[in-house]
Amino acid sequence: MQRANSGFFRISSDKTIGFSSLRHRLRFSINLSPCMDLEAIAPLLGVTNPKTSGDAMNAPNELKSHQLSYHEIVAKYPTVSPFVILKTDVQRRGVTYTTQAIERANPALHLLQFRSIFHTIGEKQTPQIPVSLLLRDGTSILTGMRPDAPAPYLVDFVDGRLVLTDHGQILEEVEYWHKPQYVDKHTSAGTPMWQVATPRPQRLDINPYSYCHFWDDGGGCKYCNISSHFNKERKNNGKPLRIAPRDIYETVREAVKQPGRFANIMLTGGSILSGSQLFDDELQVYIETLQAIGENFTTRRFPSQLIASAFSLDQLARLYEETGLLTYTSDLEVLDDALFNWICPGKAGKLGYQAWKRRLIDAVQIFGTGRVNTGIVGGVETATPHGFASEDEALDATLTEAEDLAQHGVTVVQCVWSPTRGSAFAKQHPPSLEYYVRLSQGLDALRRHYNLNADMDSYRICGNHPDTDLSRI
């Protein structure tokens, strides 16, 4: 990135972004287990089996019919890493596997079991398949098997290599995530540790509470499947509502024994609305959990991130003073007041967009500039019928609000919206790949301009956000 005129950053030769009165001055041009019968279970997984299904890779790509392709985007945006562009599109479109690719997954080496609040791999009623992918520059791709997606990428095994393909064309080599040493062990209560903490390449994820009570009266966020997923997993696999703090303490203790494996611990779960004040009981769950984790460390604070509801200033003070938490995140989800009311009716009804935003800004007083952020579901602002009609309009509105938050010390990061089974938006379609590239550029440029970091959600620690991947450069 080169400095242009005062108050502006030049992102590429024909795209300039300004941060003074951004609404008016922002200008972008859109010019497995060993005994598994893989062939038998392939149809259940949505896995492509070239031996039986022919050239399924050449199926029509519905998403690209009126949009620039991956290669065209790479050519148009030469200042953006092609690895980041590819990661973005894979997360946007999803992925599936040939049986040959699944056969390369080694249960002794690769991570084939995964339990989160949004999806599960390798439970007793589902086969073990690769949890996700790494590109050869170290970029993580967080995407699950999506056989129902209209145009998923395909992982195949060709000429001795695991490769990511699109319509039969090999794009990149990939590697499966490696499993850490703790995942095959059990707590003293007999709980499998892989069900307590989910590893990313360098982060430990813990979901202390798996249900969101905004769904009690149908007010859950429309893009989210947390509650439908919990209900299914509780029925099929006996998933508990809450993980015992002692199980969490023991799992973290075992995980950090592996030298250099983890750089951060992240906690998140569903919102709990009960208590003397809104979210008091949720706050207590996190305090108890963080205190249990803290017993494993000799320092007052430890590398940690909490993604939770928008706590009041008094609640935030308790959280900071009674635990070793280092950074705090509360997700606004969509940076528009009216769309927040439509997409997140529970959050809107209990607190409201402006109050949620104000509590984020207040959190900077407690945790400090650069240690508070908010996540958005990038692209959900284009959902029909009430979303923005054009990508230009959506981008301008989102970055304007992101700048306002940045001016107050709050970082904004985006997750790529991939419509999920079990959510109200399951049949919607995300915006173009180009939209996500432009959004990532804009969010990265805002952080640079306002001297904010994204350490808590960096490519190494988190790996989910294309915009924070750009901070590597």
> What is the rounded distance in angstroms from the CA atom of residue 224 to the CA atom of residue 419?
9
Could you tell me which of 150, 81, 215 has the C-alpha nearest to residue 418? 150
Question: How many residues in the chain?
Answer: 473
Pairwise CA distance, residues 74 & 435, whole Å = 13
Can you tell me the distance from the alpha carbon of 189 to that of 432, in angstroms, rounded to the nearest whole number?
Answer: 47
Q: Determine contact, residues 329/456, Cβ cutoff 8 Å.
A: yes
User: For residues 239 and 115, is the Cβ–Cβ distance under 8 A?
Assistant: yes
Q: What's the pLDDT at 153?
A: 95
For residue 416, give the nearest of 65, 90, 68 by alpha carbon: 90
| Residue 362, token pair as written in the block | 């207040």
d(CA 93, CA 146): 8
Tokens of 168: 């039969």
**Parallel, antiparallel, or unpaired for β 197-199 and 8-12?**
unpaired
Query: What mean pLDDT is reported for the chain?
Result: 87
Whether pLDDT at 24 is above 60: no
- Residue 107 pLDDT > 60: yes
94's tokens:
């999803």
266 CB neighbour count, 10 Å cutoff:
23
Q: 3-state DSSP call for residue 106?
A: coil
Among residues 328, 256, 324, 326, the alpha carbon closest in space to that of 292 is found at 324
Smallest CA-to-CA distance from 86 within 15, 163, 151, 172 is with 172
The pLDDT, as a whole number, for residue 115 is 86
Higher pLDDT, 473 or 94: 94
- Bridge partners for 164 per DSSP: 155, 172
Tokens of 198: 């989910």
Please check the confidence at residue 242 and state whether its pLDDT lies above 50: yes
How many angstroms separate the CA atoms of 26 and 290, rounded?
41
User: Quick one: pLDDT at residue 461?
Assistant: 87
Which helix or strand (DSSP H or E) is residue 230 part of?
helix 226-237
* Lowest mean pLDDT segment, chosen from 120-124, 215-219, 446-450: 120-124
- The fraction of the chain above a pLDDT of 90, given in percent, is 74
pLDDT band for position 123 (cuts 50, 70, 90): confident
Query: pLDDT: is 13 or 147 the higher one?
Result: 147
Sheet with 15-18, edge to edge strand ranges: 2-3, 8-12, 15-18
Beta carbons within 10 angstroms of residue 143's beta carbon: 22
Q: What is the pLDDT of residues 398-437, one digit of tens each?
A: 999 999 999 999 999 999 999 988 899 999 999 999 999 9
Q: For residue range 298-323, what is the model confidence (pLDDT) as tens digits?
A: 999 999 999 999 999 999 999 999 99
With a cut of 80, say whether residue 448 has pLDDT above it.
Answer: yes
Best CA proximity match to 174, nearest among 132, 202, 224: 132
Mean pLDDT of 448-456: 92
Find the mean pLDDT for residues 94-117.
92
pLDDT band of residue 126 (cuts 50, 70, 90) is low
Strand, helix or coil for residue 275: coil
The edge-to-edge listing of strands for the beta sheet with 203-206 is 197-199, 203-206, 264-268, 304-307, 327-329, 372-378, 411-416
Q: In whole angstroms, give the CA distance from residue 226 to residue 423.
A: 8
pLDDT tens-digit map of 39-48: 433 443 344 4
Are 121 and 70 within 8 A, CB to CB?
A: no
Q: Residue 76: what residue type?
A: K
Backbone phi and psi for residue 34, each to the nearest 5 degrees, phi listed first: -60, -30
Confidence bin at 125 (pLDDT 50/70/90): low
- Give pLDDT, residue 459: 85
- pLDDT-based confidence at 472, cuts 50/70/90? confident
Q: What is the pLDDT of residue 79?
A: 95
pLDDT tier at 35 (50, 70, 90 boundaries)?
very low
Residue labelled with tokens 């109200």: 424
Average of per-residue pLDDT across 367-380: 96
Alpha-carbon distance 88 to 93, whole Å? 9
Digit-coded pLDDT (tens) for 146-203? 767 788 999 999 999 999 999 999 999 999 999 999 999 999 999 999 999 999 999 9
CB burial of residue 314 (10 Å; 0-12, 13-18, 19+): exposed
